[in-house]
Amino acid sequence: MENWRHNVGHGRDWRWRGWRTHYSYQRAVDPTGSPLLLLHGFGGSVGHWRNNIPFLAGHHSVYALDLLGFGQSQKVMTDYGVGLWLEQVYDFWKTFIQRPVILVGHSIGSMVALALATKYPQMVQGLVMFTLPDASVLGPAWLRSRPLQQMTNLPLGVIKRLITFPPLFLPCFARFVSPLC
């Protein structure tokens, strides 16, 4: 079995609100790009980025965070949800990065990234979201909120249809799976 742990950068633990959380960091070889902050999906971990971190670290400093309750982060008795993870990621950014990042979210991580971009725009230079969960199933109030709809001047249903409309989605998907410049 491949030992993938060397591909996820330098793993460290960080105390957030008294809870142990895990993250990984890899400095850019040629730091020409903005820092990236990778947010895994439901049931994921820093390890899910093992094939991406070495490549992305060619031009970007890369941070990957195990959301509380996942990966090597502590599993605690609390109300888990986008709001909790939003505050965890924002505090992580304030503690370690302190400059605008490109948020890369997978599944539930994409919802956290979108919530961060909405609530803390000063921390976000760019946003990459893929495998978005169906917000109606997860039911986060912030996604159905009036401010988000007012930012786009479109109803949520229209936004969802635009994001998943094949003539728009497929070229974007092709770009996401190709190497970053």
Catalytic, out of 22, 40, 60, 106: 40
Residue in 28, 24, 27 with CA at minimum distance from that of residue 38: 24
Task: Tell me, yes or no, if 107 is annotated catalytic.
Answer: yes
Q: Which of 106, 87, 123 lies closest to 41, judged by CA? A: 106
The residue type found at 72 is: Q
Containing 89, the helix (H) or strand (E) segment is helix 82-96
Catalytic status, residue 73: no
CB 11 within 8 A of CB 53: no
Check 24, 45, 73, 107 and give the catalytic one: 107
Query: What is the set of active-site residues?
Result: 40, 107
